[in-house]
Amino acid sequence: VGPYLTGGLAYQWWNVDAQQAADSNNSALGVALGGGYRFNRTFMLEGRFTTGQFRSDSGQANAFQALASMRFLGLATPQGNRM
């Protein structure tokens, strides 16, 4: 319960639908940084920013992701006892 930070590598796939040029897509390795808040054992909210290079001459490709996560508790505790 409480705030947390995340960080890591992201694999990004971008598809550009250009009006004046040919369509293009690209995949690249990026960096992801974010943070969130876990309210209890079941529910958390998280925001994440990812950035990566889109082609070598086209600049950065950025995205912000928001996540609401709900954990479904199993029928057994980690020790194997029934709840």
The predicted structure's pLDDT at residue 52: 81
pLDDT tens digit at each of 83 positions of the chain: 899 999 999 888 777 776 666 667 777 888 999 999 999 988 999 999 988 876 666 677 788 999 999 987 665 556 655 55
| Pairing status of strand 43-53 against strand 24-38 | antiparallel
Q: Which two tokens stand for residue 31?
A: 């960096």
Q: In what order do the strands lie in the sheet with 60-70?
A: 2-16, 24-38, 43-53, 60-70
